[in-house]
């Protein structure tokens, strides 16, 4: 009896097991083939830099505790990341298969899309590795993003408390991994409000939804803050959050600034420091005034020299200034106080100059936003920019037509969620950094998965007379 039940269960779930097995084989193969890849940002995570969010350095430290200081602990991390990536891709594809009632070949395509995006990052982008086997936050954040979208979709469809709780837990982990993942918190809060509106369209119902979203946001933010400060207390003996979040906006200020903007800074020493950094950036062609004509040249120049301004020039020069003015901080090893002073100087520069340059900054942000839309669906090359325009127009056209035929079907809800997540993620990234693929790849598989499902639903509606799922 037990054996018969096991055999029957295997037959019923054979296709799902096959999908999971294929996904695991794909990612684990590259984990062994490429090994653990150390990238430019990897040392700051390994060394538990105060500028980094707490979760990923904690994960590396835990693996180091279990497996020692050799190469094994890094390999175990990328093995974990590979398994997580495989399971996340399968979980989303399997959920869509069950909810939409898609045939096997569509289900295989749904799973293949996240894997294809990984291959593009491995080969087409010439990174020499996938994010799943790189010592980078993307190694876990991309996979968790797919899981979070699955849970948000579940909440939109069925309003289950379990999906809401899991999304909140994921939001805490993801925000503690990358600040970019605030987008997940924004999405779940928006989902709560939308659900309250559709359940019962009234002022009272919407008010409850807004209140519930505020409670969720506060709870997640408090949890993130407690974890961040607890982590720094354990690692550095001080109750403080990570530093240097304002360096992104300060970099933007430098990129658009004119030399005369220094007059807005009241402190003469900080004013001179600003001019010293500005002169180096201007002479090396890092600033916006050196960008070529046209949108493509402008966004390419911004992306090429963003790190040159921030990492190569602004940050080290401010650190040198702080060290020179506060020798006691360096001698006494008061690392956190040094970072706090660095943050204060950058904040003073931003407050003085930003109000006078907001129009120029706004133009850069808008260009950056358009660039992010491109890199969400393709690389930013002259030809693929035109492809991206066609892809988005096609997506919107199919979505509008499908909404007309099938209203708010499960497929259309998933497509709308994907579109909102793209806009939210690109807007957030545009506001703090340049939109390279690394920061926008999260939604790339979702875009094509939603597009495929919409096309299939249209096919069945128009030619078969039925929807994928009601």
Q: Which of 20-24, 131-135, 410-414, 466-470 has the lowest mean pLDDT?
A: 466-470
What was the pLDDT predicted at 243? 72
pLDDT at res. 92? 97
Question: For 269-286, what is the mean pLDDT?
Answer: 94
Q: Check: CB of residue 48 under 8 Å from CB of residue 56.
A: no
- pLDDT digit string (tens) for 407-460? 999 999 999 999 999 999 999 998 877 788 889 999 999 999 999 999 999 988
pLDDT for 322: 87
The per-residue pLDDT for 50 is 84
Q: Which residues of 46-71 are buried (b: 16+ CB within 10 A; e: fewer)?
A: bebbbebbbbbbbbbbebbeeeeeee
pLDDT of 191 reads 96
The pLDDT value given to residue 323: 81
pTM for this model (two decimals): 0.92
The per-residue pLDDT for 70 is 84
Comparing 432 with 191, the larger pLDDT belongs to: 191
Confidence at residue 203, expressed as pLDDT on a 0 to 100 scale: 79
Query: Would you say 246 and 347 are in contact if contact means Cβ atoms under 8 Å apart?
Result: yes
> For the segment 288-346, what is each residue's pLDDT rounded down to a tens digit?
999 888 899 999 999 889 989 998 999 889 988 888 766 655 554 456 677 888 888 99
* pLDDT computed for residue 424 by the predictor: 96
Interval 125-143: pLDDT, tens? 666 678 999 999 999 999 9
Query: Is the pLDDT at 19 greater than 80, yes or no?
Result: yes
Average per-residue pLDDT for the chain: 89
Residue 368 pLDDT greater than 60, yes or no: yes
Concatenated DSSP letters of 367-392: HHHHHHHHHHHS---HHHHHHHHHHH
Mean pLDDT of 212-241: 91
Torsion over CA: 399, 402, 408, 411 (sign): negative
pLDDT tens by residue, 83-105: 999 999 999 999 999 999 899 99
| Secondary structure class of 37 (helix, strand, coil) | strand
For CA atoms 27, 29, 35, 40, give the dihedral sign. Answer: negative
Q: Which two tokens stand for residue 218?
A: 């506060």
Q: How confident is the model at residue 198 (pLDDT cuts 50, 70, 90)?
A: confident
Asked if 108 and 16 touch (Cβ cutoff 8 Å), the reply is no
Do residues 429 and 443 make contact, with C-beta atoms less than 8 angstroms apart? no
**Residue 134 in 3-state DSSP?**
strand
| Residue 197 pLDDT greater than 60, yes or no | yes
Residues 6 or more apart whose CB falls under 8 angstroms from that of 183 comprise 421, 424, 425, 428
Is residue 238 within 8 A of residue 198, CB to CB? The reply is no
pLDDT over 50 at 470, yes or no:
no
Name the phi and psi angles at 243, rounded to 5. -110, 180
pLDDT recorded at residue 466: 59
| Predicted confidence (pLDDT) per residue in 137-175, tens digit | 999 999 999 999 999 999 999 999 999 999 999 999 999
Q: For the chain, which residues make up each domain, given as ranges?
A: 1-136, 150-241, 247-358
- Are 92 and 414 in contact by the 8 Å Cβ rule? The answer is no
Q: How many CA atoms lie within 13 A of 311 on its CB side?
A: 10
Which pLDDT score, from 0 to 100, does residue 431 have? 82
Mean pLDDT of 32-54: 90
Determine the pLDDT at residue 118.
92
């Amino acid at each position: 009896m037990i054996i018969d039940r096991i055999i029957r269960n295997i037959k019923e779930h054979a296709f799902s097991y096959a999908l999971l097995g294929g996904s695991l084989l794909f990612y684990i193969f590259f984990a062994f083939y490429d090994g653990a890849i150390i990238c430019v940002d990897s040392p700051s995570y390994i060394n538990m830099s105060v500028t980094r969010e707490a979760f990923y350095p904690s994960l590396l430290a835990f693996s180091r505790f279990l497996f020692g200081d050799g190469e094994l602990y890094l390999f175990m991390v990328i093995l974990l990341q590979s398994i997580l990536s495989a399971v996340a891709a399968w979980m989303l594809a399997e959920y869509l298969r069950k909810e939409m009632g898609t045939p096997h070949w569509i289900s295989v395509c749904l799973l293949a899309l996240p894997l294809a995006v990984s291959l593009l990052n491995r080969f087409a982008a010439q990174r020499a590795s996938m994010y799943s086997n790189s010592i980078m936050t993307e190694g876990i954040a991309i996979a968790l993003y797919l899981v979070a979208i699955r849970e948000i979709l579940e909440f939109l469809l069925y309003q289950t408390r379990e999906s809401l709780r899991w999304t909140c837990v994921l939001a805490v982990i993801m925000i503690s991994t990358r600040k970019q993942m605030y987008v997940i918190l924004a999405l779940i809060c928006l989902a709560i409000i939308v659900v309250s509106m559709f359940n019962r369209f009234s002022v009272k119902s919407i008010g409850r939804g807004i209140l519930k979203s505020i409670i969720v946001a506060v709870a997640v933010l408090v949890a993130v803050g407690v974890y961040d400060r607890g982590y720094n207390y354990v690692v550095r003996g001080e109750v403080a959050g990570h530093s240097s979040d304002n360096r992104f906006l300060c970099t933007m200020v430098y990129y658009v600034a004119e030399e005369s903007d220094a007059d807005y800074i009241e402190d003469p020493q900080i004013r001179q420091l600003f001019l010293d950094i500005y002169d180096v950036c201007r002479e090396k062609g890092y600033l916006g005034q050196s960008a070529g004509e046209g949108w493509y040249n402008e966004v390419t120049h911004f992306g090429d020299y963003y790190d040159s301004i921030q990492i190569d020039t602004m940050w080290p020069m401010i650190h040198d200034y702080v060290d020179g003015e506060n020798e006691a901080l360096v001698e006494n090893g008061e690392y956190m106080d040094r970072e706090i002073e660095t943050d204060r100087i950058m904040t003073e520069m931003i407050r003085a100059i930003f109000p006078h340059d907001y129009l120029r900054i706004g133009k850069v942000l808008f260009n950056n936003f358009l660039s992010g839309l491109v890199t969400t669906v393709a690389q930013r090359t002259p030809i693929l920019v035109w492809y991206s325009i066609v892809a988005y127009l096609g997506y919107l056209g199919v979505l509008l037509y499908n909404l007309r035929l099938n209203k708010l079907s499960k497929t259309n809800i998933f497509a709308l969620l994907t579109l909102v997540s793209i806009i939210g993620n690109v807007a957030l990234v545009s506001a703090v950094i340049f939109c390279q693929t690394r920061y926008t790849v999260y939604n790339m598989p979702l875009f094509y998965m939603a597009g495929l499902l919409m096309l299939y639903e249209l096919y069945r509606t128009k030619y078969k007379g039925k929807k994928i799922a009601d």
